[in-house]
Structure 1
Amino acid sequence: MTMERIRLAVTDLSLVVLVGATGSGKSTFARRHFAPTEVLSSDFCRGLVADDENDQSASGDAFDVLHYIAGKRLAAGRRTVVDATNVQSDSRKQLIELAKRHDVLPLAIVLDVPEEVCAERNAARADRAGLPRRVIQRHQRELRRSVKHLEREGFRKVHVLRGVAEIDRAEIVTERRYNDLRHLSGPFDIVGDIHGCASELETLLGKLGYVDGAHPEGRTAVFVGDLVDRGPDSPGVLRRVMSMVANGTALCVPGNHENKLGRYLRGRGVQHTHGLAETIAQLQAEDARDPDFRARVREFVDGLVSHYVLDGGKLVVCHAGLPEKYHGRTSGRVRSHALYGDTTGETDEFGLPVRYPWAEDYRGRAAVVYGHTPVPTATWLNNTICLDTGAVFGGRLTALRWPERELVDVPAERVWYEPAKPLRTDAPGGHDGRPLDLGDVHGRRVVETRHAGRVTVREENAAAALEVMSRFAADPRLVPYLPPTMAPTATSRREGYLEHPEEAFAQYRADGVGRVVCEEKHMGSRAVVLVCKDADAARARFGVDGPTGALYTRTGRPFLDDAALTDEVLARVRAAVGAAGLWRDLATDWLLLDAELMPWSLKAGGLLRTQYAAVGAAARAVFPGALAALEAAAARGVGGVGIQDLLDKQRQRAADASSFTDAYRRYCWPTDGLDGVHLAPFQILAARGRSLAALPHDEQLALLDRMVEHDGTGLLRTTRRLYVDTGDEESVRAGVDWWLEMTGRGGEGMVVKPAGALARDGRGRLVQPGIKCRGREYLRIVYGPEYTRPENLARLRDRSLGHKRSLAVREYALGLEALDRLADGEPLWRVHEAVFAVLALESEPVDPRL
């Protein structure tokens, strides 16, 4: 007859302490039921420090090593099993403290084996044959005294196996922590603090698509707590939420108000303040209609888990927010933070505790959704969002759709409870946030981005950016984005060419990008345009009084010195946006555009005069005389073949100099006010509530074409484009021919981009957002008049592009992050963390000709 197995439930993340006398079989048990890496043996650690596992004089150092390794494992989230006698309360106390320090459950497995068996096993081991019998007897006495007190000491679970037979029948069953629901992927609708607003809850659930507490598409509601107190119908809220949880259509975490209500229902002494008195009165009215309701509420509240980790670890839901180190952990400290948050120890002018802004320091990969601290508007901050928008105080009841990250809310029907202080942005990530601070950008920084992970900014680069930003930049409130640098195409080996589009097409083909768009490279300067529909829109989103937008360079400086001229540019763009119907179609009152402003001489006049024009003027002054003298000498037969070679060389140099002058003059033409000035927008970066960086380029350009079409002033210019299939030779040849034709007419070249935007290669990494392929004649401006000579091309082809490409992708990821934060309504300092990092990376040393 097969004996039934004894199943021992052991949590996946826990500190498992084996307890038993020497010879009770702890090491054998550990080897049989746990992975070798999970087990830490005191004997092994004794051997590490003393080269002798039985050297008892080394026990102190051995346990120091054991505790250190155990701490490292627990900090990393790995189950750890301690194989030692652990029969003394002092030794167990240290392990319980270790578990608490790392917010994991301490579990005890007791192996209670008869003294005779222990003695026989020790006698059979050569290294313990001489172990005195009294040691085993002492261990047995200490074990007997300890067993009944283990739970009181702090062990969450205690499994006692009595005798060899029970030990042999034991089976370890790994169980999930209560808060570990990573296997549930949703989709979810996460609802903020309700506070007894039952009618608003029903309205919100209806707006989310729920019918009688269930969603026809199988979505799951998740409640962040504070269901009760202050509002008109806490029992109604409880009844709805309890029913949904029981039916499996909802999850719920406790708020501090549920915690207090639970203590009241258990008969504890609590003050009837902060809305509890209203809930008690409402429950008393329920007693006559439903005598069992209180008991069900108490059972429900007692069963709530402090927080949940959901969707493969990408989502954490709790009441008051939770730093990453507490995610999935289980301790009183974790529960306290999840219920109440953390405070600075100070009180504000209303006598309320000042909350510690944990979200400002949050850099975790999981999104944390919480409530607790009322804010006027739910906004993202460091991948966290507070959904308590003060419904009971007359605000709104808000839900977050996950994974869509879409906010849905309904207004409060009235002010149900007067707040102790005005409903304003006190929680981290509020709309106004806090002022910009030197500490946000000073020194070495690591910026967490959603599309490329962590991007590091070196201290010296941050200092250079700070100089530019503080002295020359436009109002930072109106600089929510800086465009990334752009890498050139790989160096061409074609005769006479340094850059050629074949390499750009080949690179994207190798990256797995099948369709690209070739966009005309305009003969101007990069400009970012922030245009608001009116002054009210600029004030509401960007906090400025007066300006209705900004026009700035890729380093954040005002593009035009004349403010009136800038206002006129914005007015014309604004009119075109309105006439094209984009305010309506994009549901926005502001737009952020990436564009080219022409002519180049509008911004680079000084550079043209001091650098480029000077070269051309010197050539015009020198070559005519030199050529005349050489021609005369050749005509007289002076110098023979040598003089003719010299003459031919100087004629070529003169022709190169003339080509150089022709090249830069194409970028210069006279302007008067805005007469002669053109703006060519090529991407809509963001609108209210949306980053549009992921919008495919064909859709982007179609929207911009509408703007150009409706511009009646002649300011706006279309960006010409051609789509190329990188895997089709004929399509690639057409792209090359288009480039040759355009540059042959004096055009600067083109930028090749993935048509779908936000493209990734086969390894999941961002590919280049754009590759510039500049024309043969334009590159004279960059590399000098004589760069096309074979000996010069041979030297120039040895150019290192790796750093430039890395820089382009890092800046691109930071730009995307700034746009996401801007669209999410995050405060200025959060947006500028990414903006400033782009500017800082620009000071990394790289060949400026690239």
Structure 2
Amino acid sequence: MFTKIEAANYRCLRAVSQTLERFHVVAGPNGSGKSTFARRLFKPTEILSSDTCRGLVSDDENSQPATKDAFELLHFIARKRLAAGKLTVVDATNVQPESRKPLVQLAREFHCLPVAIVLDVPESIAHARNKARPDREFGPHVIRQQASQLHRSLRRLQHEGFRKVHVLRSLEEIEAAVIERQPLWNNLRHEHGPFDIIGDVHGCYDELVELLQQLGYSVGEASGMSPTDAPEPTAPRTGTTCVLRGPEGRKLIFLGDLVDRGPRVPQVLKLVMGAVASGTALCVPGNHDMKLMRKLRGSNVQITHGLAESLEQLAEEPEAFQEQVADFLDGLISHYVLDDGRLVVAHAGMKESMQGRGSSAVRDFALYGETTGETDEFDRPIRYNWAAEYRGSATVVYGHTPVPEPEWLNRTINIDTGCVFGGRLTALRYPENELVSVPARQTYAEPRRPFLEPAEQAPGLSAQQEHDDVLDLADVTGKRLINTRLHASVTVREENATAALEVMSRFAVNPKWLLYLPPTMSPCGTSQLDGLLEHPAEAFAYYRHEGVPRVICEEKHMGSRAVVIVCRDEAAARQRFGIMEEGFGVCYTRTGRRFFDDEPKETEFLSRVRDAINVAGFWDEFQTDWVCL
């Protein structure tokens, strides 16, 4: 959320231009009207008042001995609100740098841009107001001292870390101020797609056009170039040489790194710029794009990693187009949150705690990701695998680091498949989660770190399966609330989770096999008749009382229930379940324990089941490699 403070006075309007972010600090001496100002412009739940916190911890809003505890409480609540992404307004004097420092640190911790709203009213007005309040017993020297401290700080507020500073110097300005609430630029939750998300292009224009055609788009080129699919004469012109038309309702999203290394950088830029200008596409910046922008703006940057090719190709374009490119790249937003928060797109990914935030740290992560500080044998930075720790509910689609094949890991997917290095150009269709790709027509650049060679890992295991081999206790301990697809949410109590963890870790089969555990039917109440545990009449009455109108009765057979999972072969078990060297199936009880203690006997039983399935032609009829019985 960003707010815009306006006042009727023109001079004040110029002084308090737009402010971005969720964290506002109202500062001013006692009696300057901070609380009245905050209550008029913000919701009661958004305001954290130091006086209110004093009252909460001491029953006296003016208790100075309670100040330390009051601000600990204020900072605690602010931390919780900022973590939840809620607009937060701190109502305190905040006239001393040491009182503002922890607030700025909080803003940095939660990737917010703090905004200071200073009420610099004349001392006489503040003193008169305090004199009229019977609960305020300090003299005018207190107001004088606070005002002096505030004035000494005004010029340094931005140096302290405040993104914007708004100073209201009269009662008229304070009373005329209004707050206009608008979403942050990266907040596109109202856009629900469907989307076609395209990985790093790096100047591979021909492959981009081919991929767009596979996705159902048509690309027309003007200025004498041959169109791949000429647009209609009435098609809107965007000021570039490319016109893009797509399937009804769908929108493209480019994940950045449009430039460098590839053979047709200007054509890629014209296509993307035109698509964004016409509303057909969104685009987030990549690190290569930002480096090119800085160079076009006159900055001294190293001409490496394909930048020379981009500059050489752009040199053949008019200077006006180069300026348009610089403006376009400079205006790109670091990442977008879409579809009511279900989808996040960024060039190098985005941690859950940074999604929808607007700090420089967020932008840096979106452009470069995170590294360990070490380098590999190719003298390339070793990237920290943030996706392995990701537990957010949003799907995160990103690129930046080329991979041989896109793989899902904890609701994240990297779709940079290294087209410029001879790999493929890949798109993800959302919400279908369908991957579409085209091969590179040639290898345009050699990567410093080979990526098409498979990584040294167990053959056949996906990134998610390999990650799932190690259990994170935080995922299974404590009280858990699980949202299911077929039923309402299920609450797992902490003591039940602890008991289940012990049983599963000591007695159960490999948890990757446990895709189904049969439910246990709740028995009816114990019979009141002597010598009987249950009686049909009492049982029917019990279920009727519990709201069960119909009961299905069947003969009870002696013995234990069993769940049998059989795969066509061990390769199918590895591909579907991520299990290696444990055979082609398993038979387990309703509690997840192995049904057979004798391994040869289990293998013989599973082989007979698989033979029967083979004879019945089950695999071909149902187009599957595994079955659960």
1:442–1:403 CA distance, 2 compared to 1 (3 A): closer
Matching of residue 68 in structure 1 with residue 76 in structure 2: yes
CA distance, structure 2, for counterparts of residue 569 and residue 203 of structure 1: 47
CA distance, structure 2, for counterparts of residue 496 and residue 509 of structure 1: 15
CA distance, structure 2, for counterparts of residue 334 and residue 175 of structure 1: 20
Q: Are the counterparts in 2 of residues 12 and 174 from structure 1 also a CA contact under 8 Å?
A: no
2:401 to 346, 368, 373: 373
| Cα distance, 1:101 vs structure 2 | 1.6
String of CA shifts for 1:121-175, please: whole Å, max 9, x gaps.
Answer: 233223347522x443444444444434433432222223231112111111112
CA distance, structure 2, for counterparts of residue 272 and residue 540 of structure 1: 44
Superposition pairs of residues 144-543 of structure 1, within 5 angstroms: 144-212=151-219, 213-284=244-315, 288-419=316-447, 420-423=449-452, 424=454, 430=463, 433=466, 436-437=469-470, 444=477, 451=485, 452=489, 458-469=497-508, 473=509, 480-488=513-521, 491=524, 526-532=562-568
Matching of residue 29 in structure 1 with residue 37 in structure 2: yes
1:482–1:96 CA distance, 2 compared to 1 (3 A): closer
CA distance, structure 1, for counterparts of residue 538 and residue 318 of structure 2: 84
CA distance, structure 2, for counterparts of residue 80 and residue 293 of structure 1: 43
Matching of residue 43 in structure 1 with residue 51 in structure 2: yes
Q: Which residue of 2 aligns with 1:618?
A: none
CA distance, structure 1, for counterparts of residue 326 and residue 332 of structure 2: 10
Q: Are the counterparts in 1 of residues 28 and 120 from structure 2 also a CA contact under 8 Å?
A: yes
- Kindly provide the amino acid, as one letter, of the partner of residue 88 in structure 2: T
Q: Which residue of 2 aligns with 1:807?
A: none
CA distance, structure 1, for counterparts of residue 378 and residue 418 of structure 2: 17
String of CA shifts for 1:673-723, please: whole Å, max 9, x gaps.
Answer: xxxxxxxxxxxxxxxxxxxxxxxxxxxxxxxxxxxxxxxxxxxxxxxxxxx
CA distance, structure 2, for counterparts of residue 542 and residue 51 of structure 1: 60
1:170–1:440 CA distance, 2 compared to 1 (3 A): closer
- Kindly provide the amino acid, as one letter, of the partner of residue 299 in structure 2: R
1:94–1:252 CA distance, 2 compared to 1 (3 A): same
CA distance, structure 1, for counterparts of residue 83 and residue 491 of structure 2: 21
Superposition pairs of residues 540-619 of structure 1, within 5 angstroms: 549-550=584-585, 552-554=587-589, 555=592, 557=594, 561=601, 563=603, 566-567=606-607, 569-570=609-610, 573-574=613-614, 576-577=616-617, 581-583=621-623, 590-595=624-629
Q: Are the counterparts in 2 of residues 38 and 81 from structure 1 also a CA contact under 8 Å?
A: yes
- Kindly provide the amino acid, as one letter, of the partner of residue 550 in structure 1: G
Q: Are the counterparts in 2 of residues 425 and 433 from structure 1 also a CA contact under 8 Å?
A: no
Which range moved further: 425-434 or 142-151?
A: 425-434
| Cα distance, 1:107 vs structure 2 | 0.9
CA distance, structure 1, for counterparts of residue 58 and residue 332 of structure 2: 49
CA distance, structure 1, for counterparts of residue 607 and residue 78 of structure 2: 64
CA distance, structure 1, for counterparts of residue 472 and residue 521 of structure 2: 35
CA distance, structure 1, for counterparts of residue 618 and residue 499 of structure 2: 44
| Cα distance, 1:498 vs structure 2 | 9.5
Q: Are the counterparts in 2 of residues 10 and 174 from structure 1 also a CA contact under 8 Å?
A: no
Structure 2 unmatched runs, 5+:
1-6, 220-243, 528-533
> What is the number of equivalent residue pairs in this alignment?
568
Structure 1 unmatched runs, 5+:
511-515, 584-589, 596-850
Q: TM-score w.r.t. structure 1 length?
A: 0.59
Larger Rg, first or second structure (1 or 2)? 1
Q: Are the counterparts in 2 of residues 378 and 430 from structure 1 also a CA contact under 8 Å?
A: no
String of CA shifts for 1:180-227, please: whole Å, max 9, x gaps.
Answer: 111111111122222222222222222122234332312111222222
Q: Are the counterparts in 2 of residues 443 and 463 from structure 1 also a CA contact under 8 Å?
A: no
CA distance, structure 2, for counterparts of residue 140 and residue 426 of structure 1: 65
Structure with the larger RCO, 1 or 2 (CA within 8 Å, 6+ apart): 1
String of CA shifts for 1:804-824, please: whole Å, max 9, x gaps.
Answer: xxxxxxxxxxxxxxxxxxxxx
| Cα distance, 1:50 vs structure 2 | 5.5
1:257–1:480 CA distance, 2 compared to 1 (3 A): farther
CA distance, structure 2, for counterparts of residue 57 and residue 441 of structure 1: 40
CA distance, structure 1, for counterparts of residue 581 and residue 470 of structure 2: 24
| Cα distance, 1:304 vs structure 2 | 1.9
String of CA shifts for 1:364-404, please: whole Å, max 9, x gaps.
Answer: 21122222232222222222222122222222222222222
Q: Which residue of 2 aligns with 1:827?
A: none
| Cα distance, 1:52 vs structure 2 | 4.6
* SS of 2:432 mapped into structure 1: coil
Q: Are the counterparts in 2 of residues 10 and 107 from structure 1 also a CA contact under 8 Å?
A: no
CA distance, structure 2, for counterparts of residue 438 and residue 20 of structure 1: 52
CA distance, structure 1, for counterparts of residue 507 and residue 446 of structure 2: 47
CA distance, structure 2, for counterparts of residue 507 and residue 54 of structure 1: 57
Superposition pairs of residues 600-749 of structure 1, within 5 angstroms: none
String of CA shifts for 1:801-844, please: whole Å, max 9, x gaps.
Answer: xxxxxxxxxxxxxxxxxxxxxxxxxxxxxxxxxxxxxxxxxxxx
1:447–1:78 CA distance, 2 compared to 1 (3 A): closer
String of CA shifts for 1:11-52, please: whole Å, max 9, x gaps.
Answer: 785221112233222121111111222222233334445555
1:161–1:591 CA distance, 2 compared to 1 (3 A): same
1:281–1:458 CA distance, 2 compared to 1 (3 A): same
1:436–1:40 CA distance, 2 compared to 1 (3 A): closer
* SS of 1:127 mapped into structure 2: coil
1:179–1:105 CA distance, 2 compared to 1 (3 A): same
- Kindly provide the amino acid, as one letter, of the partner of residue 80 in structure 2: K
CA distance, structure 1, for counterparts of residue 484 and residue 183 of structure 2: 29
Q: TM-score w.r.t. structure 2 length?
A: 0.78
- Kindly provide the amino acid, as one letter, of the partner of residue 262 in structure 1: M
| Cα distance, 1:311 vs structure 2 | 0.8
- Kindly provide the amino acid, as one letter, of the partner of residue 69 in structure 1: I
1:448–1:244 CA distance, 2 compared to 1 (3 A): farther
Which range moved further: 378-387 or 143-152?
A: 143-152
1:578–1:460 CA distance, 2 compared to 1 (3 A): closer
Q: Which residue of 1 aligns with 2:530?
A: none
- Kindly provide the amino acid, as one letter, of the partner of residue 66 in structure 1: L
Q: Which residue of 1 aligns with 2:227?
A: none
CA distance, structure 2, for counterparts of residue 364 and residue 442 of structure 1: 12
Q: Are the counterparts in 1 of residues 117 and 166 from structure 2 also a CA contact under 8 Å?
A: yes
* SS of 1:374 mapped into structure 2: coil
Which range moved further: 77-86 or 554-563?
A: 554-563
Matching of residue 80 in structure 1 with residue 88 in structure 2: yes
Q: Are the counterparts in 2 of residues 442 and 462 from structure 1 also a CA contact under 8 Å?
A: no
CA RMSD, Structure 1 to Structure 2 (Å): 4.1
- Kindly provide the amino acid, as one letter, of the partner of residue 254 in structure 2: F
Q: Structure 1 or 2: larger helix share?
A: 1
- Kindly provide the amino acid, as one letter, of the partner of residue 35 in structure 1: K
CA distance, structure 1, for counterparts of residue 120 and residue 323 of structure 2: 40
CA distance, structure 1, for counterparts of residue 310 and residue 582 of structure 2: 49
- Kindly provide the amino acid, as one letter, of the partner of residue 312 in structure 1: D
String of CA shifts for 1:65-112, please: whole Å, max 9, x gaps.
Answer: 332332232223222212223233333333212211221121111223
Q: Are the counterparts in 2 of residues 15 and 99 from structure 1 also a CA contact under 8 Å?
A: yes
1:542–1:89 CA distance, 2 compared to 1 (3 A): closer
| Cα distance, 1:490 vs structure 2 | 6.9
Matching of residue 115 in structure 1 with residue 123 in structure 2: yes
Matching of residue 124 in structure 1 with residue 132 in structure 2: yes
* SS of 1:103 mapped into structure 2: coil
Q: Are the counterparts in 2 of residues 9 and 174 from structure 1 also a CA contact under 8 Å?
A: no
CA distance, structure 2, for counterparts of residue 268 and residue 281 of structure 1: 17
CA distance, structure 1, for counterparts of residue 398 and residue 615 of structure 2: 41
* SS of 1:174 mapped into structure 2: strand
